[in-house]
Amino acid sequence: MSIEISQTLDARGLNCPLPILRTKKAMAQLNSGDVLEVTSTDPGSLKDMESFCTQTGNELLASNQSGSDFVFQIRKQ
């Protein structure tokens, strides 16, 4: 089953906490059920995205690594 992406966010080259801050801002503009795909190069974003989703109640659908990129798919609750 493929996930329909509502919006993408390119946070490559940004270091903590910028990927999370940009993710938070992008999520605020989405409707409930929409999916944001975030691409980051910051290894710290692995734990950060998990924590962000836990704290905000959003659902981390996928967390993958592709080369030096980390790709996250987050569904807004």
Q: Is 16 a catalytic residue?
A: yes
- Catalytic-role residue among 16, 30, 60, 61: 16
Instruction: Please tell me the distance from the alpha carbon of residue 68 to that of residue 77, in angstroms, as a whole number.
Output: 29
Helix (H, G, I), strand (E, B) or coil at 76: coil
Catalytic residue annotation: 16
